[in-house]
Structure 1
Amino acid sequence: MPDSTPISAKPKLAISACLLGQEVRFNAGHKESRLCSRQLNEHFDFVAVCPEVAIGLGIPREPIRLVGESQRPEAVGTVHPELNVTAPLAAYGEKMAGELGDICGYIFMQKSPSCGLERVKVYGANGVPQRDGGRGIYAQAFCERHPDLPVEEEGRLCDAVLRENFLVRVYAYADWQRLLAEGLTRRSLTEFHARYKYQLMANNPLQYKALGKRLGNMGSEDAARVGPAYFSKLMAALKRCATRGTHANVLLHISGYLKQSISTEDKRELLHLITQYREGIVPLVVPLTLLKHLFRLYPDPYIARQVYLQPHPENLSLRNAI
């Protein structure tokens, strides 16, 4: 059975340069992530970015921190608070948002006053961190320009479920970019949604129905007008992590396409493995492997196109750990 999603050229990801081992931090050190530099590096073309160095701060340099209101903090020097780099960091974020139009995702350095996505310490006038953290200045400016782009902090990628979820979204984003390059039509938009049926059911069943209904009511509307709003809702739906329960439900739905083909013994074994997965006894790859094997023996053209069966390269082994 062929892969449901053709994955050939490496998608391009932006990444905080320190995570690739570049010595660009304030103390002339790095924060190399072996996950990124040794595992993901084989599957993605990385674009390394360090906004603090890019705006002219030296190596080594005085550290900066966020101060003020958590929703609108400023980035200032920890020793010399008159050093205020808020505007340069924000301007650089907007600049890079314009230049990095071909990336399919971004991995940021956590807790950074320039690059952190959430829970970055914001200090009040009394010097005490506020209860609610903020977002790094550069990251905020960049993400505002690319609200649909998959973004994640490196630390959260250590969680197998979050890692798989992020990379599902990265490859979906790349898939959509290919679709746009080929030319968006009503037919291609409908077929795209059909291919993502079971992936959406795993992540967000309600949104799958809502998006299908929206396309069904497209009427005479131009696909170029419907497409951007559809894609924004798709990416928001995929951001919700699938659970063992929703995965098991999808596996049962897909196995229904085999009910006229496989033996009673095969049905019993498949159901047993799906149940074991739902109960946390085996990882997702176990029932999926049997399911793929059975579809190689009894191919179904509709299921063969489903992204869910292979939303990312198999040798990433993402479903071995969830």
Structure 2
Amino acid sequence: MGVPLKLGISACLLGEPVRFNGGHKESRLCSHTLSEHFQLVPVCPEVAIGLGTPREAIRLVGAPEAPRAVGTRNPDCDVSDALLGYGALMANKMNDLCGYIFMQKSPSCGLHRVKVYQANGYPADAGSRGLYARAFCEHRPDLPVEEEGRLNDPVLRENFLARVYAYADWQQVLANGLTRAALTDFHARHKYQLLAHHPEQYKALGRQLGDLGEHDLQAFAPRYFSQLMRALSKCATRGTHSNVLQHLAGYLKRVIGREEKHELGLLIEQYRSGIVPLVVPITLLKHYFRRHPDRYIAEQVYLQPHPETLSLRNSI
């Protein structure tokens, strides 16, 4: 068994008593389920920059596009620069992460719709991003990130962890030495995964790879990977999954019988209609490919983008 992938995580989500009131926000999904598969690296930026526990709460104020983090009772206590600086520091220091789980709604760690208060005492209509998370993500734009609360949605959870494993695969490509052949092989492995998430980018990246010989590899590869990760961040739908399943079934048309084709086609349509989860047609496809191996299909990440023991496709 290999070394577990590392995920950064807001320390309060692992039950550490680091919140402003001395409490925590333990997530059993993180502290029990994900901890069995990943090495979770806890960080509390507010404690790290010297704020005590318990402490005065902070909140975001000002313009949503560039808010400041100040004390709720003492607005002269401005920790904005400290949080931004620590985010940049940790983004460079934690360079072996394959993903990051942030605490939602936090003025330091929230990723989406964090309240930004105005002079009238009310939050602006437009939310913002916590300052530590903002700086961290600006310095690591390709790293898969998600909020813990959103991980309770099975589609978002599967999407995030699929991106984590894709990111880890790319890091291994870089560690082994980037070559045109290695990049082409990586793209080939992720071809159907990409098609399920973003059919338009699937076509666009395929065209770019067709002209790979005309590009400087060291300049092309980071651009390619950034586009891939943005494409994978778009959640696949039952429609796009069904399209990929039918593509894969096409590789079996000469080796399985009429009844088997009918059964497989029926399960794909039942999945498309929401009657069965994705794991059902996937399991049957994998069964047929074990009986009738295909070297190209065997390398496809789509059939197993994350460990089976995570059971991520049982609920989507």
TM-score surpassing 0.5?
yes
Q: Which residue of 2 aligns with 1:241?
A: 235
Indicate if the aligned counterparts of 1:20 and 1:37 stay in contact, CA closer than 8 A.
yes
Q: Which residue of 1 aligns with 2:299?
A: 305
Q: CA deviation at 1:293?
A: 0.4
Q: Does 1:116 align with 2:89?
A: no
Q: Does 1:128 align with 2:132?
A: no
Q: In structure 2, what residue type is equivalent to 1:117?
A: L
Q: CA deviation at 1:224?
A: 2.1
Q: Which residue of 2 aligns with 1:316?
A: 310
User: Which runs of no fewer than 5 residues in structure 2 stay unpaired?
Assistant: none
Q: Which residue of 2 aligns with 1:201?
A: 195
- Identity, % of aligned pairs? 68
Q: Which residue of 1 aligns with 2:253?
A: 259
CA offsets, 1:25-83, max 9 Å, x none? 00110000000010010111111000000001000000000000001110000011111
Indicate if the aligned counterparts of 1:186 and 1:222 stay in contact, CA closer than 8 A.
no
In structure 2, the residue corresponding to 1:72 is in which secondary structure?
coil
In structure 2, the residue corresponding to 1:157 is in which secondary structure?
helix
Q: Which residue of 2 aligns with 1:154?
A: 148
Q: CA deviation at 1:226?
A: 1.3
Q: CA deviation at 1:219?
A: 2.2
C-alpha distance in 1, partners of 2:16/2:207? 48
* TM-score calculated relative to the size of structure 2: 0.99
Q: Which residue of 2 aligns with 1:94?
A: 88
> Which segments of structure 1 move beyond 3 Å, counting only runs of 4 or more?
none
C-alpha distance in 2, partners of 1:245/1:9? 35
In structure 1, the residue corresponding to 2:89 is in which secondary structure?
helix
* TM-score calculated relative to the size of structure 1: 0.97
Q: Which residue of 2 aligns with 1:36?
A: 30
Q: Which residue of 2 aligns with 1:80?
A: 74
Q: Which residue of 1 aligns with 2:10?
A: 16
Q: Which residue of 1 aligns with 2:275?
A: 281
Indicate if the aligned counterparts of 1:160 and 1:318 stay in contact, CA closer than 8 A.
yes
Structure number with higher relative contact order (C-alpha < 8 Å, ≥ 6 residues apart):
1
Indicate if the aligned counterparts of 1:185 and 1:224 stay in contact, CA closer than 8 A.
no
C-alpha distance in 2, partners of 1:220/1:187? 14
1:180 to 166, 169, 174: 174
C-alpha distance in 2, partners of 1:289/1:8? 25
Q: CA deviation at 1:221?
A: 2.7
User: Which runs of no fewer than 5 residues in structure 1 stay unpaired?
Assistant: 1-6
In structure 2, the residue corresponding to 1:250 is in which secondary structure?
helix
In structure 1, the residue corresponding to 2:212 is in which secondary structure?
coil
C-alpha distance in 2, partners of 1:24/1:104? 24
In structure 2, the residue corresponding to 1:104 is in which secondary structure?
strand
Indicate if the aligned counterparts of 1:68 and 1:122 stay in contact, CA closer than 8 A.
yes
Matched residues, number: 316
- Quick one: structure 1 residues 185 and 234, their matched pair in 2 at CA, closer, same or farther if it must change by over 3 Å? same
In structure 1, the residue corresponding to 2:281 is in which secondary structure?
helix
C-alpha distance in 2, partners of 1:251/1:199? 11
Q: Which residue of 1 aligns with 2:48?
A: 54
1:168 to 162, 165, 177: 162
Give me the CA root mean square deviation: 0.8
C-alpha distance in 2, partners of 1:162/1:279? 20
C-alpha distance in 1, partners of 2:131/2:219? 32
Q: Which residue of 2 aligns with 1:3?
A: none
C-alpha distance in 2, partners of 1:221/1:78? 52
